[in-house]
Structures are given as structure tokens and as C-alpha cells.
Structure 1
Amino acid sequence: MTLQISQSQRYNYLADDDEDDRQMFHEALLEVNSNAVLTQAEDGKELLEILSKNPKPLPEVIFLDINMPKIGGFECLEQIKQNKKLNKMPIIMLSTSSDPLTINRALQLGANFYAVKPSTFEDIKLLIKKVLQMDCLSIQNDKQKFRLA
């Protein structure tokens, strides 16, 4: 079965301190949807600064690494979820950890999804396809939480 993705412009943000990971994610995103727009931040502090400027349009999804300098993913997630203008924004937490305590903490803090960082380019593309096909707002309104494998 082939996954079909809408080719309209999709605005996504990625906060990750690893430049190679950001580059690979960007390339995978463009292969999934050549019209996608990705705003990148090197850490949670930079992401919060970008979001504080009320960008138009807001991202459809934020991909947020957990382990970052300055402001890490958990703290960044908490600040986003406390902001009335941003708290409905779907957030996918990314980490190399598959520890259930880490996953539960991310979900308890308000992440919509948790994904163990894929190790191959093809797996990154599959993750992005899954996320872009989801109706994150409907899922969030139903208070459902998922772990993306």
C-alpha cells in the first residue's frame, strides 16, 4: 500500500541540537512533501524565541528533541503548553530513549506523540509520513496519546 500525502505547503518546526539530524530530517521531509516548509531551531531556547514572535502561519506540528542544551525538550514543552496561543499545537517528542518513564513524562507534560528517533533515512521518512497523515488536532481534542514506533 502506498501512502499518499497532500502536496500543499505544510509548515513544521524542528528543534534538535544535532545539525546532522536536522539536515537529515529536512531532506526526508522534502522527499515526503516537496512543498513542506521546515523551520529549524538548535535548542528549546531558540524555538521559544521563534514562537514568541507570533510567526504566521504557526506550524502544524513541532518535532521536539528531548536532550538539548540551554532549554531542553521537556522544559520547552512545558512552556509551550502553558502559553494560551500555542498550547493546542501538536508536539511530537523525539528521543533516542525508549525508556517508559521518559515516554510517560513526555505524554504527561502534554506531548501528543512520542517517537524514538529513527536511525535510518527511510525510517525518518516513514515517521514523517505517519505524522503528516494524522489529524493531530482531532486526536488532541479526544485526549488520546500515542507512541509512534
Structure 2
Amino acid sequence: MFNTPKIMYKGSTNAPLPITLLYASDNAVAQGDFRAAVDNMSGNFKSAPLTAEYLVSKQQPPPGTIIFVDCYYSNFTGYQIIQFLKKSKLFFKIPIVVLSKINDYRTQETCWLLGADFYTVQPDSLQEFALLLECLVKLDWPTRKRDKKEFIYSLKNKITA
């Protein structure tokens, strides 16, 4: 159900800064695409799978965590995942990026109202997908405020701070 690769990003101080990308999807193809994009990100990255139990383990997520959610599930919805995360004392401050293959206004509006930070249509190209993830990882998440004007995220209108 959840595929959660953990990656390391080498920052400007040359000290490894842990960045954990959690990906919530029950679609095996989407999970494979996410893993492949993470593996194709430039820089000093390592990936290792974590289990679904992590989200319900009452374990504090590491600093630098970003959660990516697929909106469409067979048994439940990405909306339910976003609601769970925003109600959780452990996860409510963690940035949530919705990855979707569909560019639908109603879906985007619902994700915004539930508390997601960004909505992005997943690129078909593996290289563009990896670049999109790199851009999102490099954002200054601790100081960034949610902004509806910037909610729809793409490589064409990427935000740099």
C-alpha cells in the first residue's frame, strides 16, 4: 500500500542531510515510477524501502520528510490519506504533495481544502519526473507557507524558495 523510499541529499555543507520521501499509493506501476524517478534524481541519493506500518507506528518522522500521495486508490482514496495525515499529531506539519495523472479542478480543490501543500500532474517522462521531485525536495519547507496561488505545481511554474 505505501512505498516509502528513504533518500539522502548532500547539501551545500557536504554533510548528508536526510530527506525522507514517503509515497502513498496502492498502484504497483505508480510505485515503480516513483522509485525509478528517485533513482534517477541527480546528486548523492540512496533509496531503501520502508513499510506501511511506519505511518501507524506512532514513530516520529525524521526531519525533512515530504509525503507524496496518489489521489486514486482501489480500496480508499488519497483524500482519506490526506485527512489521516492532517489529523495525526505526528504528521500534520509534514508537507504533502499530491501526485496525479489527472489535471482535474475538483480534485485539486478538494486536495487544497484537505490541507495538501501542492498538487502536481506527474510527468510521463522519467527524467522530468525526477527533475520535478528534485525541485520539490530543494524547497525551503520549514519556512514555506501554503499558498493557493502556487498550489498547482509544475516544472513550468516551479517555485524556488
TM bracket, shorter-chain basis: 0.7 to 0.9
Q: CA 1:20/1:131 → structure 2, altered by over 3 Å: closer, same or farther?
A: same
Please name the residue that 2:58 is paired with: 54
In 1, the alpha carbon distance for the partners of 2:22 and 2:95 equals 11
Q: Which residue of 1 aligns with 2:106?
A: 101
User: Structure 2 length as normaliser, TM-score?
Assistant: 0.74
Normalised to the residue count of structure 1, the TM-score between the two structures is 0.79
User: 1:97 corresponds to which letter in structure 2?
Assistant: I
CA RMSD of aligned residues (A): 2.3
Cα distance in structure 1, aligned partners of 2:48 and 2:118: 19
- State the Cα distance separating 1:56 from its structure 2 match: 5.4
Alignment of 1:1-149 (within 5 A): 6-7=9-10, 8=16, 9-32=18-41, 33-37=43-47, 39=49, 46=52, 49-55=53-59, 57-58=61-62, 60-139=65-144, 142-145=145-148, 146-149=151-154
Matches of 2:72 and 2:44, distance apart in 1: 29
**Counterpart Cα distance in 1 of 2:104 and 2:147:** 20
What is the CA distance between 1:36 and its match in structure 2? 4.0
Counterpart-to-counterpart distance in 1, 2:36 and 2:57: 26
Q: Distance in 2 between matches of 1:112 and 1:87?
A: 11
Higher share in helix: 1
Q: What stretches of structure 2 of length at least 5 have no aligned partner?
A: 1-7, 11-15, 155-161
CA distance in 2, matches of 1:38, 1:117: 22
Structure 2 counterpart of 1:18, one-letter code: N
Unaligned runs of 5+ in 1: none
Distance in 2, Cα, partners of 1:15 & 1:80: 11
AA at the equivalent of 1:35: F
